[in-house]
Structure 1
Amino acid sequence: MKTFKNLLIAITVISIFSCSSDDDNRTIDPGNGGDNPITGNELKGDLSEDAKLLASVEYTLTGSFTVKSGATLTIEPGTVIKAKSGRTDIFLAVERGAKIIAKGTAANPIKFTSDASSPKAGDWGGIVIAGKAKSNKGTDVQSEVAGLLYGGSDDADNSGELSYIIAEYTGAKINGEQEFNGISFFGVGNGTVVNNIVVSNGNDDGIEFFGGSVNVTNVYCANIADDMFDWTGGYTGTITNAFGVRNDGFDAATDDPRGIEGDSNSSDANAAPISTPTLKNVTILNLNPDVALKAGAEIRRGTQAIISNILFAAYGNASFGNRIDTKDDKGNGTLTISNASAQGNVGDDKVGGDITGTVTAITDGISVPSDNTVNTKAGVGADLSAFDWANQSFVVTKLN
């Protein structure tokens, strides 16, 4: 049984990185002359040649920073990038045909955060990656943020690697229809490596897939205003070991926050490729009695999803509106579910499309002993020990 502790609602993440006074003011020149997007510790502009960010420099993202097609951005383990807060044009983007190699380690993760003295959800945009994998929106589609083209026919496309990454205080809102997610994958192929990801305190979705086939292992979304895990546009990848939690006291919320939102195509539910993702070992947990999740999993608009070993849980007075919802006026979804458990007030299923499999009510998936720590039963839902490296933790602050 694994125990996690979070004082109040804060998500505390410790990034350990080395410092060298000799390198503190080092300029990394990617070789594009006077229009250098990496000058000293400032990141802004278009990167057209290969470059590396060093752990010995604390960087500030002061505008849009785009890795152009043909270029590779490498980020050393332990690097910290602080985004200038309060603007909607602060984000890291990787074009179709470009690569990002951000390989942190458990001891030295790579951290993207806000530069605000009192950071909050929505302080900056987020990370946006485009690729050449299939989308049912087309082959040259413009991303809803960052203005990148994505899509193609290469499901094995490789946009690089994201490993041991922390992205926090993301989700800047551009207008009523456009908001950044923590990390957005637009047509990203399964040649891309993505594992050990933490997104926390986001003002829109935690992680979202727009088509593509990229696989993700060990992803933790904590305190997300909208959907923790989201896909649309024909996503066909696999998500393994996913934990989503809304902490007591995190009250930033859209009108319909969910644990999982799965779409295929809102204009044509039969558009190919249909979203057919597979999810394995998932926990959706609500600890906040003041914000109900609209659904634990909303599978709709043509999506055909397979989910195995999932726990839907709400502690104390926290709740879900629906546990599973496959009904939608723009097209129902279908879900095959196995080894599914539910604990607490997680609502009933709203069936439109078929749901194959059953959800079993249990009492021992989540427990709260006298010290207010939250315990999870081994083998039920996500394996939270996979996130020990990030020092993520939480407690319940409003006990019954």
Structure 2
Amino acid sequence: MKKITFTTLLFFVVFGNLFAQQEKGITGYNNWLDSWTDFQPNKANYEEPTQILSGNITENITLTKRNTYLLLGNVFVTDSTTLTIEPGTVILGDFTSKGSITITNGSKIIAEGTPTDPIIFTSNKADKKPGDWGGIFILGDAPVNVFGNVSSLNYGLNPTSTDNISFGGDNIESNSGSLKYVRIEYAGKRTKKFGNFSAITLAGIGMQTEIKNVMVSYCLGNSFNILGGEVNLTKTVSYRSNKNDYNFNLGTQSNIQNALAIRSPYISSADGSRCISVNSYDIKENADSSKKETFVNATNLTLVNVSNNLKSDMQIGLIKEAILIGPDTSFHINKSVISGFQPAVILDNKIAINNTNLAKIKFTSSYFNNCKGNIFRKGYTNNDDLESWYGSRAFDNVYSKGPDDETFIDSENSRYPDFRLRINKIIASNDLYDDHNED
């Protein structure tokens, strides 16, 4: 009986110490990047296309693993149609026509891969490059903060009906389907008039839409572009994006958790790009101030800049901020890691530093590593007030300078890197089950 009591007590002591560790950055009992991600996608070879997707898809359709599909031009799923994609299916975006696919408002995409059989959207070129094809647009009827409740995509898609590029409404619970264990590679078509496509645009989608275990790599535009709606992102990855990894705008109410952004100073756009960009509008006069401003609630994020020589790259200006926060927004980030930026965060100079705005912008229990400056205001050389405010013990933030190989579990693994934070040699984990056994 004494032996059982002692064993039980030891169990609680050990697990008490585990949970006493501040679990910052991405977490998981296992490395959840393992098996379904690909950090060297240009080495993959796929079968030649056996089916072509083009024009409007107006009837329910299932894409099967036994076929390889080619997105030819701008494809639209319309008329309340459901597009279902089997695990392991490969969809190639056509380079010549810069293929894209739009799930229109009222239609759905059910793309549910598995950890060992993910769904793959990639370029049809043998030598793949960022911007080879367009991207994925998913539209819903959840709220956006524009006048009249409805907006439209402006990317030159040339639909047969303007309804096919419209999004927004009053349905917070809007359901545009689900994406699970999906990879999107080499998207981000460049246009002269409309800028770059994003790998995936979520416009006015609602809470019932599920986005989980989605990886975007080598996109020439934004990786994840969230425009309005009520959006939840879980275990998403952005790898070596040219623009923003996560772009939030148009009054979105977004929760993002256990997510990763890996940047490279040799790939990021020189005109300014970051891991997270938070705005409520592009032009203030176009926003309806009676509606919700953009709110992003981020938990357990890891934002890291991987550099061969971080100090040198900072000195020559290749490295910018990790997070940019625009006016009339709210942003909360908790238990996260921001590593290798200059500085970690920039607040727009239109944000007045007062109690009201500071209450809307929160950085708590986070780990700032190898950042030249932490939280700055754009255009201001003296940011002591912000550094002092967020450096207060009340916010429980930690500041450190350590190389990636000592900061993360196995960041240099070229196949399945592990960016969980190493704290006192204890892996950050809050899952007491095997991630690979999830639904």
TM-score of the pair, normalised by structure 1: 0.80
Q: Secondary structure at the match of 1:367?
A: helix
Instruction: Specify the alignment match of 2:376 in structure 1.
Output: 350
Instruction: Specify the alignment match of 1:118 in structure 2.
Output: 127
Pairwise mapping of residues 40-55 of structure 1 onto structure 2 (< 5 A)?
41-55=51-65
Report the alpha carbon displacement of residue 156 of structure 1 after superposing the two structures with TM: 0.3
The answer (yes or no) to whether the contact 2:42–2:128 under 8 Å persists in 1 is no
Instruction: Specify the alignment match of 1:327 in structure 2.
Output: 348
Matched, 1:173 2:190: yes
The answer (yes or no) to whether the contact 1:367–1:376 under 8 Å persists in 2 is no
Write the letter of the residue equivalent to 1:51. Answer: I
Pairwise mapping of residues 236-275 of structure 1 onto structure 2 (< 5 A)?
236-247=253-264, 250-268=266-284, 270=289, 272-275=291-294
| 2:116 paired residue among 107, 110, 117 | 107
- Greater alpha carbon shift after TM alignment, 142-151 vs 45-54: 142-151
Aligned equivalents of 1:329, 1:343: Cα separation in 2: 27
Instruction: Specify the alignment match of 2:72 in structure 1.
Output: 62
Q: Secondary structure at the match of 2:55?
A: strand
Matched, 1:210 2:227: yes
| 1:83 paired residue among 89, 93, 98 | 93
Instruction: Specify the alignment match of 2:325 in structure 1.
Output: 299
Report the alpha carbon displacement of residue 12 of structure 1 after superposing the two structures with TM: 4.0
Check 1:110–1:184 CA distance in 2 against 1; reply closer, same or farther (3 A cut): same
Check 1:232–1:370 CA distance in 2 against 1; reply closer, same or farther (3 A cut): closer
Report the alpha carbon displacement of residue 104 of structure 1 after superposing the two structures with TM: 0.8
Check 1:142–1:328 CA distance in 2 against 1; reply closer, same or farther (3 A cut): farther
Write the letter of the residue equivalent to 1:93. Answer: T
Unaligned runs of 5+ in 1: 26-39, 315-319, 390-400
Report the alpha carbon displacement of residue 254 of structure 1 after superposing the two structures with TM: 4.2
Aligned equivalents of 1:361, 1:107: Cα separation in 2: 37
Write the letter of the residue equivalent to 1:349. Answer: I
Unaligned runs of 5+ in 2: 1-29, 160-164, 379-384
Aligned equivalents of 1:111, 1:55: Cα separation in 2: 10
The answer (yes or no) to whether the contact 2:344–2:371 under 8 Å persists in 1 is no
Write the letter of the residue equivalent to 2:365. Answer: N
More helix by share: 2
Matched, 1:131 2:152: no
Write the letter of the residue equivalent to 1:212. Answer: G
Check 1:91–1:383 CA distance in 2 against 1; reply closer, same or farther (3 A cut): farther
Instruction: Specify the alignment match of 1:36 in structure 2.
Output: none
Report the alpha carbon displacement of residue 345 of structure 1 after superposing the two structures with TM: 3.3
More strand by share: 1
The answer (yes or no) to whether the contact 1:274–1:304 under 8 Å persists in 2 is yes
Count of residue correspondences: 360
The answer (yes or no) to whether the contact 1:259–1:293 under 8 Å persists in 2 is no
Aligned equivalents of 1:13, 1:272: Cα separation in 2: 44
Report the alpha carbon displacement of residue 217 of structure 1 after superposing the two structures with TM: 0.6
Instruction: Specify the alignment match of 1:287 in structure 2.
Output: 306
Check 1:15–1:78 CA distance in 2 against 1; reply closer, same or farther (3 A cut): farther
Write the letter of the residue equivalent to 2:74. Answer: S
The answer (yes or no) to whether the contact 2:411–2:419 under 8 Å persists in 1 is no
Q: Secondary structure at the match of 2:59?
A: coil
Report the alpha carbon displacement of residue 358 of structure 1 after superposing the two structures with TM: 6.0
Matched, 1:228 2:245: yes
| 2:151 paired residue among 141, 152, 160 | 141
Write the letter of the residue equivalent to 1:107. Answer: T
Report the alpha carbon displacement of residue 376 of structure 1 after superposing the two structures with TM: 4.2
Aligned equivalents of 1:388, 1:14: Cα separation in 2: 26
Instruction: Specify the alignment match of 1:191 in structure 2.
Output: 208
Deviation string 1:325-370 (CA, Å, 9 cap, x unpaired) is 1224488974112111111134332137987646421246832599
Write the letter of the residue equivalent to 1:230. Answer: N
Aligned equivalents of 1:103, 1:15: Cα separation in 2: 21
Check 1:114–1:337 CA distance in 2 against 1; reply closer, same or farther (3 A cut): same
Report the alpha carbon displacement of residue 296 of structure 1 after superposing the two structures with TM: 1.1
Write the letter of the residue equivalent to 2:174. Answer: D
Matched, 1:341 2:351: no
Q: Secondary structure at the match of 1:237?
A: strand
Deviation string 1:238-273 (CA, Å, 9 cap, x unpaired) is 11111000247x525241010110001243374521
Aligned equivalents of 2:351, 2:77: Cα separation in 1: 36
The answer (yes or no) to whether the contact 2:206–2:230 under 8 Å persists in 1 is yes
Aligned equivalents of 1:201, 1:387: Cα separation in 2: 29
Q: Secondary structure at the match of 2:214?
A: strand
Q: CA RMSD in A?
A: 3.6
The answer (yes or no) to whether the contact 2:302–2:337 under 8 Å persists in 1 is yes
Deviation string 1:362-397 (CA, Å, 9 cap, x unpaired) is 2468325999557645477997999998xxxxxxxx
Aligned equivalents of 2:421, 2:133: Cα separation in 1: 36
Check 1:97–1:299 CA distance in 2 against 1; reply closer, same or farther (3 A cut): same
Instruction: Specify the alignment match of 2:296 in structure 1.
Output: 277
Aligned equivalents of 2:154, 2:352: Cα separation in 1: 22
Q: Secondary structure at the match of 2:129?
A: coil
| 2:398 paired residue among 360, 365, 372 | 360
Q: Larger C-alpha radius of gyration, 1 or 2?
A: 2
Deviation string 1:149-168 (CA, Å, 9 cap, x unpaired) is 00000010000111111000
Aligned equivalents of 1:303, 1:286: Cα separation in 2: 25
